[in-house]
Structure 1
Amino acid sequence: MNVDLQNPDTQGTIIYWFRNDLRIEDNQALIDACQNAEKILFVYCHSPSTLHASRWQLPHPGLHRQRFLATALADLRQQLVTRGNQLLEVCACAAEFLPLLARESGSSVIYCEDIAAPYEQDEVLALSAAGLTVHTRWQSTLIDPVDLPFMPDALPDVFTQFRTIIERESVQAPVPLTGPQSLPPLPDNYSQIASKWAIDTHSADAQLSTDISDAQMDQRSSFPYFLPEFSGGSTAACAHVERYLNRKLPHTYKQTRNQLSGLDYSTKFSPWLASGAISARQIFNALKKFEEEHGANEGSYWIWFELLWRDYFRFLHLKYGRRLYFAKGLTDLPIPTHDAGKFTDWCLARTGEAFIDAGMAELAATGYLSNRMRQVLASYLIHELGCNWRAGAAWFEAQLIDYDVYSNQGNWLYIAGRGTDPRNGRRFNIQKQANDHDSDGSYRRLWGKPGSAAND
């Protein structure tokens, strides 16, 4: 939902609602808000109802993702304070809370990023229905939709066709925007507002750290978010990108990207991209500078390729919207079957298939999985266990540190054969995948249960 910003409200207090854009740099919506505000109130709503997983009676976001998000918000809070403002964090549904906040602060205008998924669109519609003026800005893709050589509803239904057009037409990603170094002041009554609604972030963070025991800070993790260099927030994100490039890892990315364990086999950009602590444009801009200095090769090209896939899943939402969330997806296939017992066994890593159970054990222990294992696990649930793909998508939503509504939905549709891919789904041969990617059994031993076949 893009709103015309040619005649923005330039008076009084503006509310900036952080969603999946937890950064100040390269944040067009935030820049617009600051340019048009006399005073500004930054808010983040912790709302468990954002989970589509609730439809399947699954748990709220796991502790791993909660902790990663907490560190991202802590970093954002500090950056706002440095620039002369603060972050109001509340435990509330945004659609219900923001109208109350607007009345309390004397505001009628909200700025936020645009998210083209059903629940997130409904939030904005609810705010508009409550009488608020909501300015949304599309800003999560590498390529701006206005720069596409076709209208979003003419997006090719095959990724390769999309990529070919983008590269043939030399479509360029915009240069990242510089964020404001100082921010408009808080509303005069901010202290009263904060005392009424703000959560105690220090107590919440302390409780979360207590809940995440030493045992859950699993040293086997391929994304050890409990280490400072893998914490949430733009500070850690930018430092990670710099380290990754300085070590010249882009040059080997394509060779290693299908590995299952370790810190360096993949870029590990996804958790920060998912929360918006860093933008795709910031990463790509840094990658181009790397290629200018150290040369481009197939590995560095493949990072662009993956960022383009990420864009494609977002643009599919602009074309198809809610249809991507139907049980049939975009197809006329029958409603998918579901076996609740087998689904539970899959979630709890007790299918009896050592390779699958190792992957599900890793997900539970760390909140992270390699892209290869995500595809294998999804294929097994859908094609071998005969379960509903939307249940699997919901479980990943509840568990993954780097859950992203667009990529999660797009990948599950792809594996289920209910999206746009002409191959009608991907059914992986589990034994072949194990032989190809875990030929020595090290992954199964790493995550297998003691005494299981995986450890024999």
Structure 2
Amino acid sequence: MNTLIYWFRQDLRLHDQPALARALQHARATGAALLPVCCVPPDTPTPYGFARVGPHRRAFEAQTRAALAARLRALGSDLLILAGAAAQVLPRLAAATGATQIWCEAIRAPWEAAEEAALARAGLKLECHWHSSLLDPADLPFEPEAVPTVFTAFRQAVEGAGVRPAPPLPTPDQIPGWEGGAEQRWCGQPWPAWQARWAAQGLVLDTPAPVPCPPAHPHSLFPYAHPACQGGEAAAQAHWETYLARGLPHSYKATRNQVMGFEASSKLSPWLATGALSPRWAWARLQDFEARHGASASSYWLWFELLWRDHFRWLHWRHGAALYRARGLSERPLPTSGPDQDQAFARWCQGATGEALVDAGMRELAATGFLSNRLRQIVASYLIHDLGGDWRAGAAWFEAQLVDFDVYSNQGNWLYIAGRGTDPRGGRRFDPLRQGREHDPDGRYRARWGAT
């Protein structure tokens, strides 16, 4: 039986999975067996001296992979989790299984695009399909390469053309090549035997080594150690149904900038970032909510935020690696680095700048892997505009720390604050004193995180 590999990347779910649906369709049409695979690359240091993936993100992603494996096993299938960079382990797996095709999600960011290029150089045929956005590229009123660079123009064009997301796809009910039962079999042989064969060939299986989960912090805005906030599509969908059932879309706009409170914002970002939740599915459930309970300016704001998320994706489509240059998309000269910049960056990471609100935010981020959107803007602004720090270093620190790291949104937001992206105002500076008066008037947040 021919083998087709489906490589899960940042799309760790089974519901509304267009790339997987196409791979399944091709497998059934050609009589191929489909092997679901996920790769866990070794951690590599950033140019700034810290690990690319910190403990919070590592644990949450491990939860998500485990949840996906369980969902696949419920279909009589399974997930092969390999330790190693995709460019190294997938060609060896393809050789061991006789596979010549790999199907996967397309990711238009430099590091991820380099993975795809390396696999192509290894002689593998990749079928990469875009499906991380709310809107489909074919439905946009412009070519993705010509996306308006300013968000307002983008939103007005989309809304003016009446563009809406396509309905989400159903979860598949079978994976070709698999047989369920007491002992799962793939291509007619027991699954454990296949795993043992691949291990003997030097393909390191990551499944037996669970990633330790740091204990939940009592003040975490997203306590991913608790079952309700763990990684995976079941927890994601249950959370969104609860959010809707409590009528919270009608208060979202008024509370979204609060720096404390689990229900102040939607908390969809961790599950969206790993792909455990489809934005189209979340939008469809929100539409059902509005049909029953009425639409409001507040529930509209959830659409507004999902469009922001999309815009950062289309900007990557249009500008690619230019978004990762020191100057970004700006022609303005780079700031001169001061002699204390490295020390200032270290103090910022440690929450030891002496600016109470900034330090509180950075301590929360390190302790929990999560931070409210308002605090993300404040601490980013402080690094760039008050400390004269390198925005790319800040973006890398967020990448390591955040459980909801999303390559598109993280890069886009840091560029926006730095004034090196598409902000028509040339950057945003948030005065921490004013922000403290507005968003922490009684000092409770600063006291909570030990920065008074």
Please report the TM-score for the alignment, with normalisation by the length of structure 1.
Answer: 0.92
Shift in Å, 1:261: 1.1
Alignment-mate amino acid for residue 358 of structure 1: A
1:325/1:261 CA distance change after superposition, 3 Å: same
Task: Tell me the secondary structure at the aligned position of residue 170 of structure 1.
Answer: coil
Contact persistence 1:84–1:184 (CA under 8 A)? no
Counterparts in 2 of 1:91-102, with a 5 A limit?
91-102=83-94
Counterparts in 2 of 1:165-204, with a 5 A limit?
165-185=157-177, 186-187=186-187, 188=189, 190-196=194-200, 197-204=203-210
Q: Which residue in 1 is equivalent to 2:125?
A: 133
Shift in Å, 1:14: 0.5
Cα separation, 2, equivalents of 1:354 and 1:34: 53
Is 1:371 paired with 2:373? yes
Q: Which residue in 1 is equivalent to 2:297?
A: 298
Task: Tell me the secondary structure at the aligned position of residue 179 of structure 1.
Answer: coil
Shift in Å, 1:145: 0.9
Task: Tell me the secondary structure at the aligned position of residue 264 of structure 2.
Answer: coil
Contact persistence 1:329–1:413 (CA under 8 A)? yes
Cα separation, 2, equivalents of 1:438 and 1:202: 45
Q: Which residue in 2 is equivalent to 1:415?
A: 417
Cα separation, 1, equivalents of 2:174 and 2:292: 33
Q: Which residue in 1 is equivalent to 2:402?
A: 400
Q: Which residue in 1 is equivalent to 2:334?
A: 335
Task: Tell me the secondary structure at the aligned position of residue 350 of structure 1.
Answer: coil
Shift in Å, 1:34: 1.5
Q: Which residue in 1 is equivalent to 2:13?
A: 23
**Residue-by-residue CA offset, 1:174-231 (whole Å, 9 max, x unaligned):** 00001211111234573344434343534324xx14xx2x4xx201001010110000
Q: Which runs of 5+ in 1 are unaligned?
A: 1-10
Cα separation, 1, equivalents of 2:410 and 2:197: 36
Task: Tell me the secondary structure at the aligned position of residue 5 of structure 2.
Answer: strand
Contact persistence 1:330–1:418 (CA under 8 A)? yes
Shift in Å, 1:112: 0.3
1:258/1:125 CA distance change after superposition, 3 Å: same
Task: Tell me the secondary structure at the aligned position of residue 110 of structure 1.
Answer: strand
Cα separation, 1, equivalents of 2:66 and 2:155: 37
Cα separation, 1, equivalents of 2:283 and 2:175: 27
Task: Tell me the secondary structure at the aligned position of residue 209 of structure 2.
Answer: helix
Task: Tell me the secondary structure at the aligned position of residue 54 of structure 1.
Answer: coil
Q: What percentage of aligned pairs have identical amino acids?
A: 51
Cα separation, 2, equivalents of 1:112 and 1:247: 36
Contact persistence 2:52–2:399 (CA under 8 A)? no
Q: Which residue in 1 is equivalent to 2:265?
A: 266
Cα separation, 2, equivalents of 1:150 and 1:72: 35
Alignment-mate amino acid for residue 73 of structure 1: R
Cα separation, 2, equivalents of 1:156 and 1:125: 28
Cα separation, 1, equivalents of 2:397 and 2:206: 29
**Residue-by-residue CA offset, 1:104-159 (whole Å, 9 max, x unaligned):** 11001000000000111111111111111000000000000111111112211111
Is 1:82 paired with 2:74? yes
Alignment-mate amino acid for residue 263 of structure 2: D
Is 1:43 paired with 2:29? no
Q: Which residue in 2 is equivalent to 1:3?
A: none
Contact persistence 1:113–1:137 (CA under 8 A)? yes
Compute the RMSD of aligned alpha carbons: 1.4
Q: Between Structure 1 and Structure 2, how many residues are aligned?
A: 431
1:275/1:193 CA distance change after superposition, 3 Å: farther
